[in-house]
Chain A
Amino acid sequence: MDSQSVGFLSREKTLVSPPPERVEEAYRGLSPQGTLTIQCRATEVSALLGAAERAGFRGMRVDRSEGLKILAHKTGPQGAGYSGPAAAALDDESRLLLGGADPTPPGRDPFLSDAKRLVAWLGLSAGTKNRVVVFYPGPFRMLILKDGSMVRRGQPVRLPAEQAAELEKAEGAWVNPKIWSAATDPRNFGALYRERGAICLLESDRPADLDGVDEAPEAMKRRLSTVIERGEDFFVLTGSDPRQKDGCCPSNEVGEANALVQAGILSSSVESGTSDCPATIYAFAAEIRRVGDKPSFVRNDPLRAAVKERILRGPRMSRKLLVRLALMAIAGAALAVLTVTLFRQLRGR
């Protein structure tokens, strides 16, 4: 009850092309003012930025001055505003910073109303001609341009040359970087907002792998159903992931919930700061934000509906299942041919 934890945490740590779980470990081992440097290849940037975001790092920036690296901080800028050329920026604490607006006073959370205001501000599309590849290195998680284009940190997109030049000048964006020649057109906030609501700002581009629901044990499926049916924001589990080497109080439920986080179905936030077993909040993907020292939740209704449907209807023909069936069919056919051949040979004797 009155137990205490004593931590000896480092201020700086460097990892070279680490697997994503090492990023989370590094987060736990850093002091509150600590910085993680991740040296990596261009193809790894997106996944490692995602891992660093999930671990809780703030104000991340991709740097190319001495090889490619990601700089990730445990504490982000407090009360920051946004004054660049974009209509708004989303920071790593999921605060929507409207261009030119004053920073939000502590304790207030205008996320939903600001997202609505932002949609009303958006202008016409900047067109599709003369597009060039643009890489936004950070420190914000995302910029929402005046035509609604969503430019995510670490994910190259194709933008009109004029917009690209503006971002290069004001935000240090990289235009036509040699290491990223392939890029997609950005998604549009206005269109996504009308379809999915404000949650579209918080969702990752990687869609949830609903096969993860099928693979979850029945008890976990019941838990997810109850959360959806009761309209709960979140659930809590205590204990550590059995896959974690130095974890105390291993809990299978935590392992199952973390598998759903990996599948992009749930999101999580480790809350306990003591040496006791960690207590973790789980909500559906992208739903957890932090307002001050407390978690806050934005309902991901489209995902909840999809998960509910999946639990009710059971697995559909997923790619994994199709591959499995195809392999079984091939194996079956091979066995049949073998049996017939053997039978004929035996009769021939």
Chain B
Amino acid sequence: MNDETYFDYAAAAPPFPEALRRLDEVSLQSYANPSSTHGRGKNAREALDRAREAFLARLGFHDGRLILTSGATEANNLVLREAMERHPSGRLLLSADAHPSTWFANDLYGKRVDILRTDSAGRIRPEQLEQQITRKTVLVSLLHGNNETGVIQDVKALGAVCAHRKIPLHVDGVQVIGHLPVTLSELPFASYTFSAHKFGGPRGVGGVLAREVPGGAQIQGGGQEQGVRGGTENLAGLAASVVALDLSCRSLETEVPRLRRLARTLIADLRSSIPDVLVNSDPDAGLPGLVSVSFPTLIGEEIVLEMDVRGYEISAGSACGSGKREPSRPLLAMGRSRVQALGTVRISMGRFTTAESVGGLAAALRQVVEKQKALA
């Protein structure tokens, strides 16, 4: 397996070997249950507290706490369900480009959910947010960086609107943590969620960075995480995530401009060789190294499979639902047509991506698109 031909970092980043070594080390040394009252248990508790503090410090989050979960999906569920259950007649204002791990609320609470509109560039304008908040709104939920288009929301400005209206803001920050420099204490949110495997940490580690501890638990029994999330804490996973976060954040100064350069090169290459390509992402203002492109009349999944046979791993944006292929919701929200959205692929780069591998990917993608157009 060649790591340079992996272009699906937004789905899962390759883990840092240093993080996995730490995972091993802590698993072997601090195996005791942090809830146990004996010496080893106390040591594990101390190690957990240290890891928690280190994680928060790395993100510049000094005025809140970390509630550990198994990943961002669970973390998002915890926040949204807790709010909706605490306010049975309250309404959720959910961004149109939400990830499925928060969009579930639209299916579950249907009539109590309002959809927060994005503009043609995929951004939520503060005045739009202001306009859509009602007296019944109990929570606003949005993505910091969109996993499909790479669009980054101005959380500071949007958070200010929420603060002014005294509505808690939930931010799904999965694609941002470890990929962009952030100081969370400067951002006005109530809760912010993450997953460690997106920045080179182990799978099964995520959490809610919260200014207030949520009132109810979704997983009960055990009383861990201040009663909010039952279950023995994943100490080794958190310790490994601290290492991965540290390595990611330390490389941002060089990695962010490098990945932006690679994204610009790729887009220029595709535009010159495939004139009808539609570019959905902004290489300079979006998530670094995330490129979303649409090839109208083609099918994203078919491109993905052809690219896989040629040795390049990318991903598509559509999914199957209700007996037909559903195009990407964030792209539809940006005003793309169904035909355009169905032919969308996402290319996401990371630390092993090189200029050579981007050149190879562009050439392979051109061949695949030419072939599929000829066969269509």
For residues 316 through 345 of chain B, which have their beta carbon under 8 Å from a beta carbon of chain A?
A: 316-317, 319-320, 323-325, 328
Please state if B320 and A249 are interface contacts (CB–CB under 8 Å).
yes
Least CB separation from B302: chain A residue: A236
Q: Does A339 contact B (CB under 8 A)?
A: no
For residues 258 through 305 of chain B, which have their beta carbon under 8 Å from a beta carbon of chain A?
A: 299, 301-302, 304-305
Please state if B299 and A238 are interface contacts (CB–CB under 8 Å).
yes
Please state if B302 and A295 are interface contacts (CB–CB under 8 Å).
no
- Contacts A2-B11, A3-B319, A238-B301 given; does A230 touch B325 at CB 8 Å: no
Cα distance, A110 to B299, chains bound together (Å): 34
Cα distance, A279 to B325, chains bound together (Å): 12
Of A57-65, A270-278, A318-326, the one touching chain B? A270-278
Instruction: Tell which of A223, A232, A277, A295 has the most Cβ of chain B within 10 Å.
Output: A277
Please state if A277 and B301 are interface contacts (CB–CB under 8 Å).
yes
Q: Chain A 271-289 against B: per-residue CB contact (8 Å), 1 yes, 0 no?
A: 1100111010100000000
Cα distance, A254 to B374, chains bound together (Å): 18
Q: Does A6 contact B (CB under 8 A)?
A: no
Q: Does B148 contact A (CB under 8 A)?
A: yes
Please state if A239 and B375 are interface contacts (CB–CB under 8 Å).
no
Please state if B371 and A281 are interface contacts (CB–CB under 8 Å).
no
- Using Cβ atoms and an 8 Å threshold, which residues of chain A touch B324? 249
Instruction: Tell which of B308, B315, B317, B328 has the most Cβ of chain A within 10 Å.
Output: B308
Interface size, chain A (Cβ < 8 Å): 26
Q: Does B137 contact A (CB under 8 A)?
A: no
Taking the closest CB of chain B, its distance from the CB of A108, in whole angstroms, is 15
- Using Cβ atoms and an 8 Å threshold, which residues of chain B touch A230? 371, 374
Cα distance, A239 to B346, chains bound together (Å): 20
Cα distance, A5 to B215, chains bound together (Å): 31
- Contacts A1-B11, A1-B328, A238-B299 given; does A279 touch B375 at CB 8 Å: no
- Contacts A2-B11, A2-B100, A271-B305 given; does A248 touch B147 at CB 8 Å: no
Cα distance, A226 to B148, chains bound together (Å): 33
- Contacts A230-B374, A249-B325, A281-B309 given; does A3 touch B100 at CB 8 Å: yes
Taking the closest CB of chain B, its distance from the CB of A310, in whole angstroms, is 19
Cα distance, A248 to B320, chains bound together (Å): 7
- Using Cβ atoms and an 8 Å threshold, which residues of chain B touch A271? 305, 308
- Using Cβ atoms and an 8 Å threshold, which residues of chain A touch B325? 238-239, 249, 277
Q: Chain B 60-85 against A: per-residue CB contact (8 Å), 1 yes, 0 no?
A: 00000000000000000000000000
Please state if A249 and B148 are interface contacts (CB–CB under 8 Å).
no
Please state if B147 and A223 are interface contacts (CB–CB under 8 Å).
no
- Using Cβ atoms and an 8 Å threshold, which residues of chain B touch A294? 308-309, 311
Q: Does A15 contact B (CB under 8 A)?
A: no
- Using Cβ atoms and an 8 Å threshold, which residues of chain B touch A236? 302, 305-306, 372
Instruction: Tell which of A1, A226, A237 has the most Cβ of chain B within 10 Å.
Output: A1
Q: Does B170 contact A (CB under 8 A)?
A: no
- Using Cβ atoms and an 8 Å threshold, which residues of chain B touch A275? 320
Q: Does B99 contact A (CB under 8 A)?
A: yes
Q: Does A227 contact B (CB under 8 A)?
A: yes
Taking a contact as CB atoms closer than 8 A, the residue among B308, B320, B346, B374 that contacts A226 in the complex is B374
Q: What are 24 pairs between A and B in contact, CB < 8 Å?
A: A1-B11, A1-B148, A1-B315, A1-B316, A1-B328, A2-B99, A226-B374, A227-B375, A230-B371, A236-B305, A236-B306, A238-B302, A238-B325, A239-B325, A248-B323, A249-B320, A249-B323, A271-B305, A272-B301, A276-B319, A276-B320, A277-B301, A279-B304, A281-B309
- Other CB < 8 Å A-B pairs besides A1-B11, A272-B301, 15 of them? A1-B328, A230-B371, A230-B374, A234-B309, A236-B302, A236-B306, A239-B325, A248-B320, A249-B323, A249-B324, A250-B323, A271-B305, A276-B301, A276-B319, A281-B309
